[in-house]
């Protein structure tokens, strides 16, 4: 019986495969890091857009709430205050859930203005032109601000109070 013997031979290996494998690992790692960074930025952009949308919806709801509240107030409505009854810088008419509504009178003089044209206007009715500015702060540490400016034309029977 003949025995086979294995005698290792020494070949000079140059490490080309090892260097190629390392370069491939570095390239794949770079691509993975870039993709992860890109997805993180996308998530931040999406979150910011969602926060703005939520803030905008809250703000529009607050504007509608303030106007409805003033409409229900009847003769005690802030919308019936004349220019002389409102401070020059405006007057805060509502603060709710971190939102503040400020009202300013847009009449240039002491008298009220003619109401905007309508199909069937009532003679002797004038309008008190007002601006309601409602603001909300949102985002982390409330560093962003969103504002809605609404114009209100309140009909008034005379320069005194509304109808």
Local confidence band at 162 (pLDDT 50, 70, 90 cut-offs): very low
CA 73 – CA 127 distance, rounded (Å) = 18
CA 149 – CA 131 distance, rounded (Å) = 7
CA 67 – CA 98 distance, rounded (Å) = 17
- Helices and strands, number each (H, E), in the chain: 1, 5
Give the range among 35-39, 58-62, 92-96, 116-120 with minimum mean pLDDT.
116-120
Residue 148 contacts residue 66 (beta carbons within 8 Å)? no
pLDDT for the residue numbered 50: 92
Mean pLDDT score, 77-92? 84
Local confidence band at 61 (pLDDT 50, 70, 90 cut-offs): very high
pLDDT tens, 19-49?
Answer: 888 999 999 999 988 888 788 888 888 998 9
Token pair of 2 as six digits: 């003949």
CA 4 – CA 163 distance, rounded (Å) = 117
- Alpha-helix residue ranges (DSSP H) falling in the chain: 16-72
Give the range among 8-22, 96-110, 116-130, 145-159 with minimum mean pLDDT.
116-130
pLDDT for the residue numbered 112: 57
Percent of the chain with pLDDT over 90: 24
pLDDT for the residue numbered 64: 92
Mean pLDDT score, 7-27? 80
CA 146 – CA 54 distance, rounded (Å) = 11
């Amino acid at each position: 019986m003949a025995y086979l013997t294995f005698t290792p031979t020494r070949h000079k290996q140059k490490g080309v495969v090892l260097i190629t494998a390392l370069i491939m690992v570095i390239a794949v790692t770079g691509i993975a890091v870039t993709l992860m960074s890109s997805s993180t930025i996308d998530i931040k952009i999406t979150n910011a857009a969602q926060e703005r949308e939520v803030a905008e919806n809250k703000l529009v709801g607050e504007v509608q709430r303030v106007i409805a509240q003033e409409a229900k107030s009847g003769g005690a409505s802030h919308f019936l205050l004349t220019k002389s009854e409102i401070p020059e810088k405006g007057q805060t008419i509502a603060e709710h859930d971190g939102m503040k509504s400020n009202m300013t009178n847009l009449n240039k003089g002491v008298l009220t203005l003619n109401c905007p044209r309508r199909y069937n206007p009532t003679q002797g009715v004038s309008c008190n032109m007002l601006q309601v500015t409602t603001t909300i702060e949102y985002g982390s540490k409330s560093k962003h601000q969103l504002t809605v400016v609404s114009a209100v034309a309140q009909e008034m029977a005379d320069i005194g109070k509304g109808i």
